[in-house]
Amino acid sequence: MKFGVVVFPGSNCDHDAFYAISNILKKPVEFIWHQSQDLANCDAIILPGGFAHGDYLRTGAIARFSPVMKAVEKFAKSGGMVLGICNGFQILLEAGLLPGAMMRNSGLRYICRHVLIRVEQTDTPFTNAALQGQVLKIPIAHNDGNYNADEATLADLEKNRQILFRYTTPDGANDAVGNPNGSLHNIAGICNRERNVAGLMPHPERAVESALDSADGLVIFKSLVESLVTAAKATA
Amino acid sequence: MATATTEIKVTPEIAAEHGLTAEEYARVKQILGREPNITELGIFSVMWSEHCSYKSSKVHLKRLPTRGKLVVQGPGENAGVVDIGDGLVAAFKIESHNHPSYVEPFQGATTGVGGILRDIFTMGARPVAVLDSLRFGPIIAGKGVSEQEAAKNRRILDGVIRGIANYGNCFGVPTVGGEVGFEPCYSQNPLVNALALGIAKKEDLFFAKARGTGNPVIYVGAKTGRDGIHGASLLASAEFTEESKQKRPNVQVGDPFMEKLLLEACLEAMQTGAVVAIQDMGAAGLTCSTTEMASRGGTGIEIDLAKVPQRESGMTPYEIMLSESQERMLLVAEKGREREVLDVFKKWGLDAVVVGEVTDGGLLRVKDRGKLAAEIPAHPLAEEGPVYRRPIAQPPLRKETAADWFSFSAEGTDLALNFAALLGSPAIASKRWITEQYDTSVRTNTLAGPGASDAAVIRIKDPETGVVKRALALATDGNSRWCQLNPRVGAMHAVAEAARNVAASGARPMAATNCLNFGSPEKAEVMWQFSEVIDGLTVACNELGTPITGGNVSFYNETLGKSIYPTPVIGVLGILEDASRVLKIAFREEGDAIVLLDGAAWALGAQQAAPLLGTEREFSSSEYSKTIAGIVAGEPPAIDLAAEKRLQECLVSLAANGAVRSAHDVSDGGIAVTLAESCFASLVGAQHAAPQLGADVKLEETSPAEYALFGESGARALVSVAATSLARVLETARQYEVAAYQIGQVIRGDAFRIEYKGRVVIESSVSKLHDTWAHSLERGLKAR
């Protein structure tokens, strides 16, 4: 089992994702430079947060053209697990690996704080260790997390149960109140129809130790590890 | 002037336009043995500007204590460095970017953060935290403040906050603390002081000393443009007038993405072992970096401007040498290994060009397409600039009588109402609206972000293994109202409070950095304030064991002849031996005893300390007096540094033993505000269904009620203690000769109650008080 963390120029949560996997989960992980043509035989790929290529033009708009994205796309199409966090989510949207687009937060300001998100689906490699309806406390830190898509796409997402996380309140009851950025359908994270590519705006890698105020993000990484173990057994 | 060419003949008038006095100009001619050309004149003018040369402050700064057992590098390098154990060091420094932030708030603040970050990674340290100490004019119209002025101040604040957020968030460093203050004197001259902290392995530290004749000098980073020419000399070293808006072209423009690339590339290049020295191009750009590297190394440097990457065509040598374009570095590599260095920068997509070489003979030689553009001895240029012992004059003593002072309210006055007003005042209200715009948690080291503890606390991951053992705590402080009333005592309070904040997080204060913001040094009263502040800092830093390792001086903070309050901002760095023992301000458990620790009251036995100056006089300088009565007069509270030291050592010991559940120092707004903030912090945790906690407190004092509740005398902190630990805490306090009084307890539910001499003076609900405190700033800032 080996994780790969892609490093774009301007990625700044690459070290944090690496640390969560190597020091907290204690699993093998390596960095993959954005110029790389291959994924160094990694079994799961993380696109980390940050401001890839300065987020000039639009968030993620330039990063999708980095050479490594061809390999990521191929990997995803063949069923490989890809998780985009924050800027990584934005890049997956721009690359067309996930549907929809990101707009500026409705308050037109950068927001960094802990939010609560509810796990909506547990039959994905990113959430299978979580409980349906479980509320997680995880920080957000973004300018552009206002998820947007047309009605048909949103209907598809709902119908195919692709919405993995929604913003909510402590009791899991009032999503609109918990929504920090105006995201449609209170979406915090989604997956593709095949359920092997996911993106979310909150930063689970910043919530893996109680010393940092929350370890709720661990469940996402643990889900990935379990999925990789299961996949390895299946092929063995 | 910005389009000057080498053909311009230098005259005494042109020298004067460059801010050089007749004596300074004579000195230039003496050093050169001839008349300077226009490029050379430009170089001298920036190097000898107040901002770069410290010509008015040097004689005073020498008095500051700068040495200590843990100090690896004191003032004189890009940043101060202290030993934090296990082969690691911390580099930290605070710097001002005041004038640019007034002229263009967003870019001014942005480049202020960018500049201080470069100072840190130039030393080979990876930046891990930023704090900002900000001062603005009033943001709410009222007595003496027009709506127009308040609106302008709100715009400045908004631009500055966005600028800080934009740079730090993109760069990937958490902005974890600092303070924001409001006084009318900052309406025409806001203060933006940015502090950065970095961590490096001791053996990997880099210094800005050029060595090795023939070694290549390499320019890296952004291209040079015409922005920021004379930023240091004309913008930072002169007061503001009506025409200052025309100085907008003197403000630089920041690009945090470029700086992020520069950070990664520089740290990677340093790892090759082929880098000899490195210096960032900040104030005075290429001029300052070449001159200082050569001067420190005792060498010369020769560069060819034709090789310097340029953003615009037709730039003159004058413009290239004086440009303050951001995100640039100059480094010296080992001859024959330049390829290794250049390859790293190429990987990160950055310009990196050999522009010259280290020479012997000590000359800064600038060529332009083979033609000599400037030739100046580097050492005299850097080190033998003018030094002034400016006239000092104490302003006439304020003649105050009891009529000028705060008069305490009669019994029965509704203190709850005043308390709510105090909690909602911009100085005391929650700054969350601001700090939520900063990324506070990137790098996953933030153990205590803004408002969680009295200091920001960042854990130290071992650069190789990631293992965490210790943590660093940082706090900034500076009460300018107190410095205006008494510069010496005010400065001592600034050190004492910053150190107390650090100790209240559980960390042992170890070193300090300072940013000294003042009016014009050409005014004798301002120089008196400056000298008094230096004396105050010296005494306090010596007593509290926090040597000054660096910082900067910002003079000319005045507009239309009116100076700001003297504003020394002190950053204190401390170390927590066990990162799991961080103390935060939030109350945690129902039934815990609330204990007031008072270092100054020890000698008085069971009695609480009475003010030495008379309560009215001292109280007139408090936040309560200013907010409720509009009175700013009297004196800052008397300061007892030995008591501060005892209290701080006591707090560090209590934290190390895990004896207390929370700690919060008593400062602005006194015990009442301190108590309320500890209740509020437990509410924030309650977002995740934690219990809400209140407080029930009884004060038995001889002083008037308002003094007892809202007085701000130092050397005090509130801790909450489990019943089972109470005896141990009281015993520890006794050992450190700190008086300890149980004044109440933490209660479940929403009640907030203070009794004074058997009479209930404040009875409210935590959630109601919290609403006022939490939202006042945002409501005040909302466009109306």
- Range in A167-181, B149-163, B447-461 the model is least confident about: A167-181
Tell me, yes or no, whether B727 lies in a domain.
Answer: yes
pLDDT in tens, A97-116: 999 999 999 999 999 999 99
pLDDT in tens, A47-82: 999 999 999 999 999 999 999 999 999 999 999 999
- A139 contacts B169? CB cut-off 8 A: no
Beta bridge pairs of residue B693: B748
B360 — alpha (psi -120 to 50), left (phi > 0) or beta?
beta
Q: Does A174 touch chain B (CB under 8 A)?
A: no
How many cross-chain Cβ pairs, A to B, lie less than 8 Å apart? 90
- B688 contacts A16? CB cut-off 8 A: no
Average pLDDT over residues B564-590: 97
Average pLDDT over residues B193-201: 98
- Range in B498-502, B538-542, B605-609 the model is least confident about: B605-609
CB-neighbour burial class of residue B609 (10 A; exposed 0-12, middle 13-18, buried 19+): buried
Q: Does A112 touch chain B (CB under 8 A)?
A: yes
B446-448 β-sheet, strand order: B446-448, B456-461, B468-477, B567-576, B508-517, B548-554
**Pick from B335, B367, B384: which residue ends a domain?**
B384
Taking 50 as the threshold, does the pLDDT of residue A210 lie above it?
yes
**pLDDT value for B151:** 96
- A9 contacts B349? CB cut-off 8 A: yes
Tell me, yes or no, whether B307 lies in a domain.
Answer: yes
- B437 contacts A110? CB cut-off 8 A: yes
**Pick from B320, B353, B384: which residue ends a domain?**
B384
Average pLDDT over residues B43-55: 93
Average pLDDT over residues B248-277: 91
**DSSP letters along B190-256, please?**
-EEEEEEEEEEEGGG-------STTPEEEEEESPB-STTTTIIIIITTS-B-GGGGGGGGGS----H
Taking 70 as the threshold, does the pLDDT of residue A92 lie above it?
yes
Instruction: Pick A110's closest partner by Cβ from B165, B447, B579.
Output: B165
Instruction: Give how far B347 is from chain A: nearest CA, Å.
Output: 9
Give the residue numbers in B contacting A (CB under 8 Å), as ranges: 165-166, 169-172, 255-258, 260-261, 348-349, 436-444, 446-447, 459, 461, 466-467, 579-580, 687-689
| CATH value at residue B647 | 3.90.650.10
**pLDDT value for B604:** 63
- Counting the structural domains of chain B, the total is 2
Q: Does A2 touch chain B (CB under 8 A)?
A: no
Catalytic residue among B18, B60, B97, B770: B97
Looking at residue B736, its amino acid is Y
Average pLDDT over residues B318-327: 93
Catalytic residue among A13, A42, A86, A191: A86
Q: Which of A8, A65, A110, A205 to mutate to test the interface with B (most CBs of B within 10 A)?
A: A110
Q: Does A15 touch chain B (CB under 8 A)?
A: yes
Instruction: Pick A16's closest partner by Cβ from B349, B442, B467.
Output: B442
Average pLDDT over residues B333-346: 97
Looking at residue B571, its amino acid is G
Q: What is the mean pLDDT of chain B?
A: 93
For residues B699 and B160, what is the distance between their CA atoms, to the nearest angstrom?
41
* Overall size of chain B counted in residues: 784
Tell me, yes or no, whether B736 lies in a domain.
Answer: yes
Taking 70 as the threshold, does the pLDDT of residue B612 lie above it?
no
Percent residues over pLDDT 70 in chain A: 100
Taking 80 as the threshold, does the pLDDT of residue A213 lie above it?
yes
User: Which residues in B lie closer than 8 A to residue A209 (C-beta atoms)?
Assistant: 444
Q: Does A109 touch chain B (CB under 8 A)?
A: yes
Taking 70 as the threshold, does the pLDDT of residue B686 lie above it?
no
- B437 contacts A111? CB cut-off 8 A: yes
Taking 70 as the threshold, does the pLDDT of residue B249 lie above it?
no
User: Which residues in A lie closer than 8 A to residue B257 (C-beta atoms)?
Assistant: 9-10, 51, 53-56
Average pLDDT over residues A33-59: 96
Taking 80 as the threshold, does the pLDDT of residue B684 lie above it?
no
- B169 contacts A110? CB cut-off 8 A: yes
Taking 70 as the threshold, does the pLDDT of residue B508 lie above it?
yes
Taking 70 as the threshold, does the pLDDT of residue B3 lie above it?
no
- A112 contacts B261? CB cut-off 8 A: no
**pLDDT value for B240:** 63
Tell me, yes or no, whether B129 lies in a domain.
Answer: no
**pLDDT value for B370:** 86
Strand B191-201 vs strand B126-136: parallel, antiparallel, or unpaired?
Answer: antiparallel
Helix (H, G, I), strand (E, B) or coil at B784: coil
User: Which residues in B lie closer than 8 A to residue A10 (C-beta atoms)?
Assistant: 170, 257, 260-261
- B261 contacts A9? CB cut-off 8 A: yes
User: Which residues in B lie closer than 8 A to residue A116 (C-beta atoms)?
Assistant: 687-688
Asked whether this complex has an ipTM greater than 0.95, the answer is: yes
Q: Which of B199, B442, B453, B781 to mutate to test the interface with A (most CBs of A within 10 A)?
A: B442
HSE (side-chain half, CA atoms, 13 Å) at A30: 12
pLDDT in tens, B173-188: 999 998 999 999 999 9
Taking 70 as the threshold, does the pLDDT of residue A30 lie above it?
yes
Structural domain harbouring B685: 585-784
Helix (H, G, I), strand (E, B) or coil at A185: helix
Taking 50 as the threshold, does the pLDDT of residue B688 lie above it?
no
Tell me, yes or no, whether B555 lies in a domain.
Answer: no
- B438 contacts A116? CB cut-off 8 A: no
Instruction: Pick B444's closest partner by Cβ from A19, A53, A55.
Output: A19
The single residue listed with the structure tokens 């998780």 is A83
* Overall size of chain A counted in residues: 236
- Is residue A205 part of the annotated active site? The answer reads yes
Average pLDDT over residues B130-155: 95
Q: How far is CA B507 from CA B88, B573, B648, B652, in A?
A: 17, 9, 9, 6
Confidence of residue B253 (pLDDT cuts 50, 70, 90): confident
Tell me, yes or no, whether B707 lies in a domain.
Answer: yes
Confidence of residue B242 (pLDDT cuts 50, 70, 90): low
Average pLDDT over residues B565-592: 97
Strand B751-756 vs strand B693-699: parallel, antiparallel, or unpaired?
Answer: parallel
Instruction: Pick A22's closest partner by Cβ from B172, B466, B580.
Output: B466
Q: Are B201 and B88 in contact (CB under 8 A)?
A: yes
Domains and CATH numbers, chain A: 3-235 (3.40.50.880)
Confidence of residue B782 (pLDDT cuts 50, 70, 90): confident
**pLDDT value for B1:** 37
Q: Which of B258, B347, B444, B467 to mutate to test the interface with A (most CBs of A within 10 A)?
A: B444
Tell me, yes or no, whether B613 lies in a domain.
Answer: yes
Tell me, yes or no, whether B245 lies in a domain.
Answer: yes
- A116 contacts B687? CB cut-off 8 A: yes
Confidence of residue A146 (pLDDT cuts 50, 70, 90): very high
Instruction: Pick B348's closest partner by Cβ from A9, A137, A139.
Output: A9
Confidence of residue B692 (pLDDT cuts 50, 70, 90): confident
Helix (H, G, I), strand (E, B) or coil at B60: helix
Taking 80 as the threshold, does the pLDDT of residue B251 lie above it?
no
Q: Which of A5, A11, A12 to mutate to test the interface with B (most CBs of B within 10 A)?
A: A12
**pLDDT value for B526:** 97
For residue B123, how far is the Cα from the chain centroid?
19
What residue of A is the nearest CA neighbor of B443? A16
Q: Does A79 touch chain B (CB under 8 A)?
A: no
Average pLDDT over residues B364-391: 95
- Is residue B51 part of the annotated active site? The answer reads yes
Confidence of residue B402 (pLDDT cuts 50, 70, 90): confident
**Pick from B329, B356, B384: which residue ends a domain?**
B384
**pLDDT value for B781:** 87
Average pLDDT over residues A190-204: 98
Taking 90 as the threshold, does the pLDDT of residue B411 lie above it?
no
**pLDDT value for A172:** 87
Taking 80 as the threshold, does the pLDDT of residue A136 lie above it?
yes
**pLDDT value for B238:** 66
**pLDDT value for B748:** 93
- B170 contacts A112? CB cut-off 8 A: no
**pLDDT value for B135:** 98
Average pLDDT over residues B228-257: 68
Taking 60 as the threshold, does the pLDDT of residue B324 lie above it?
yes
